[in-house]
A and B are shown apart, each in its own frame.
Chain A
Amino acid sequence: MREPILTARDVTREYAPGQGCLGVSLDVWPGEVLGIVGESGSGKSTLLRLLSGQESPDSGTLQFIDRHQTVWDLCSSSESDLRYLGRTEFGIIHQNPRDGLRLRISAGGNIGERLMGVGERHYGDIRAEAEKWLAEVEIDPSRIDDRPAVFSGGMQQRLQIARNLVTHPKLVFMDEPTGGLDVSVQAKLLDTLKRLVHDLGISVVIVTHDMGVARLLADRLLVMKSGQVIESGLTDQVLDDPHAAYTQQLVASILQVN
């Protein structure tokens, strides 16, 4: 029987009246990519931080089921448990790779860190695994000893993905992972992401304001406005037949650009 791996109910974090994330409920199913779209300031990043345990909600409940079928109540979990989940069950891809990489540590060290963090102590194995993951994200493995500071933006983002996926997390959170990249680099990265997500069967929650990214990656979409989810459904459904006027505007705005 399949059940959601992440369940949020009435999750609220209100920074100022009407600002933040207000009473959001959602389920994330095994192997699905859930897209979160909405205008700037609508609460997408806030929701992502709450779902991934980086910030605690004022109210609401969050439940996660890990690979051992252990049920976690994320709202009452200790910081120690949340950080443990953060480096084993979760992956977090930041928009700015500088927030998600150690720029003065080699690419291999960046990938190896999570392995060492969960107790891997064989240098040769760690290095082999790092090389394998560089190849997975289409970075030449001979760059293993280079520092990410000398990588292009697209390569840094690929490295960030490898660094997160190396411990096979069950659920990966991405906040505008292609945001800072130019269009052709973006397209290639999206292909890589799509392949990895499919091959690994991981679940993904991805925040984007780019309907093209949403269309390409997401199975389902949530549309946020002023901290609330105002529309949700299968991606094609939401994009091709938006109900809320706000969603119609969002979709229309990109159609004009195209």
Chain B
Amino acid sequence: MVEYNTAQEVEKDAAYKKELVELLYQLADDDFILAFRGSEWLGIAPHIEEDVAFSSISQDKMGHAVIYYEMLEELGEGKADDLAHLREPKERKNAIILEEVNGPGNYLEEPEYDWAFAVVRNYFYDISKAIRLSSLKNSSYKPLAQVAKKMILEQYYHLTHWNMWFTQLINATDEAKKRMRQAIDKVWKDFDGVLTLGPSAKEMARLGLIKEEQELKDKWMTEIKEVFEKLGVELPTNDGPGMERGDGRNGEHTEDLTTALQTLSEVYKVDPAAGW
């Protein structure tokens, strides 16, 4: 199987480059938008200790997005900052569930944010991210394999953090149970959007960029089943989560992404050519 050590080497293999770029956009956009949602929580988490911990996790996620965007820059896709701030919603590859607002209100005004949703979304996401990273460790694109190895170390702490919250809340008070149940059902409806690798998943696997989509999905399901069984909680369905609102990998998105992009690029767009 082919292996590439640098962005320059990839230049001569157009078919490979196309899939690599596609995968990197998915990875970058997922981490970027979820880190953005995390940053909106800053200052209003359930307690100060959590504010500090959650913020540290969001920074790691944003840091990972930066690494992926910089890899794309190296591959000639344009400036990392432009990729993060200027691309239109339809060009974005992130999963729809990751762009969803944290709850009613706005981060500046009356943020009625839902902590149960934050816990479930982040927990499910970080399980899937850990699985994905451990596959990327063996990617045929060696720069990606290298960074995956580093990210896995951080990922362990994130996973532990969300696992602790999930475990603590799911069997606590009646209200906590109810809210967690609602959050699980909500995330479940669209979480397949995270697990999918989009229309060219097969090609990505064939080129050794990442493992087969189905294999990664099965791993995720196995882990989730184990957690749910251990905690005595029922799965919403036995055949895996859905993709009710569409496939973000295909550029399908909701209004939530449009407003998020407006916010996060508000200052940058004043003058993208200026130094900030």
Chains A and B belong together in one complex: no
The chain B residues found within 8 Å of chain A, CB to CB, are none
**A contacts, CB < 8 Å to B:** none
